[in-house]
Chain A
Amino acid sequence: MARNKRRWLWACCAAALALPVASGAAFRIKVMDSSRAHVPSNVAWTSETIREANGGDALRGLLISRRCERCHGQEGFSPSPSIPNLASMNSLVIWKQLEDFRTGKRVSEVMERIAGALSPQDSADLGAYYSLLPNSPDPMDSRSFPEPISNAALLGVAARLISLGDGHRGIPPCQACHGPVAYVLGAPSLTTQNSDYILRELEQFSEGSRANDINLRMRSIASQLTDDEKQALAEYYGAGRGNLPAAAISK
């Protein structure tokens, strides 16, 4: 009898010990080497940088933009869904991405060469021009945006992430930084962005092959998203649904 009781005691002790271990097992401890510093981007949003990036000449930007037309469209809406739309993009966004391509912080065979031929003033001029373009595509123009939704079941998932995020996993609502609710410095508007492009960038952020986000912002968020969620977000924005603030419960 006494031995039986002791056995129970041992079982309880083992269970109590196993509990914190089991709950801790949901996480993996990673050790990083701080001597190998990674600088995500040479751009820092100091007041001088913001003044420089905002001080573009839109007319000069219009002339330079003829180099961008073939891929990004005449009015900033791309004919291919894997190439980003630039219409009405904030000038700071365009300035930062061109600077990152130029310095090799963001990798793209095509864009690194094109950005390398531009000066910082050219980037600011392009930003001034593209930020003035209307964010509704010309119906007569050849462009891929907006695309039909392939899987309607994913819309609710996307609307929830965009409007509420998922606090438990530390995912903030997309629309708090990428519009239309609010924007943070250097965050691109996603309200009229192409689906394939969004999906590709989310995948690259989550695997770390794109790492030009300041202070790990998008890398830490994208690595928390499941494949289905990335697909859902890309389709939601690619269908033009991001123009209005998302509601948590979509019809």
Chain B
Amino acid sequence: MQARSIQFAIGIALLACTILATRVYEVDAPLWRLLQGGNLIDSATLHLGGEFAESNLGSQRDPDGSITLRMIAQQYDFVPSCVVVPVQVSVHLRITSADAVHVLTIANTNVAVKAVPGKISDSFFELDHTGEFDLPCREFCGAGHYAMRAHLVVVPQSQFPSLGPAERAVCGAK
């Protein structure tokens, strides 16, 4: 009887460890990647340089042809406020927050990424039709939350600029 309850306790503990190790609720990244430390960043010093310096934001063309898109969420906008990606190409979104917890949502798709201060969230998606998407914030983040919105423009692959390794693409209103 005793042995069976110990087995039960060990089983529950194993199950809990498995859930924890596969996904941490706060960040869309598995626990082992967080423990490596590669996804930690100081939210107060983003603008001083490094991966989320303002000239490094936007779409970057990777050597394998996919796109890495870097964004910052902050009270109360996403920067860059308009981003552009080519259609039917794998996009690796890396986003962090400068202050509160935000959630970037691509309207009418199943993409929603939590942006947490101090951590970088990774997300992968591929959009299969061109057009203009709203990117609203879906986590209440303060007094201006409901107007926090950016735009994503998905263009045909032929219209997307051929980017050099140091070049980043964003978009702006005409």
Contact = CB atoms under 8 A, between A and B. Distances in A.
Contacts of B159: 24, 29
Contacts of A25: 174
A121 interface: no
A107 B152 CA distance: 33
B136 to A, nearest CB: 8
Contacts of A45: 44
A165 to B, nearest CB: 4
Interface residues of A, number: 50
Contacts of A184: 75, 99
Interface in A161-204: 164-173, 175-177, 181-182, 184-185
B168 A32 contact: yes
Contacts of A31: 161, 163, 167-169
A27 B167 contact: no
A171 B81 CA distance: 10
Interface string B34-63: 000000001011111100011110101000
B126 interface: no
Contact of A44 (B44, B75, B99, B163): B44
Contacts of A223: 172-173
Given A37-B55, A176-B144, A217-B77, A28 B149 contact: no
Nearest to B77: A170
A20 interface: yes
B89 to A, nearest CB: 15
A14 B79 CA distance: 35
B91 interface: no
B173 A38 contact: no
A159 to B, nearest CB: 15
A26 interface: yes
Contact of A30 (B45, B143, B144, B169): B169
Given A215-B79, A215-B98, A28 B74 contact: no
Interface of B: 42, 44-49, 53-56, 58, 60, 72, 74-82, 84, 98-99, 130-132, 136, 142-144, 146-151, 153, 155-156, 159-161, 163, 166-174
7 contacts: A27-B174, A36-B55, A44-B45, A165-B147, A167-B147, A175-B143, A217-B77
Interface of A: 20, 23-42, 44-46, 49, 164-173, 175-177, 181-182, 184-185, 214-217, 220-221, 223-224
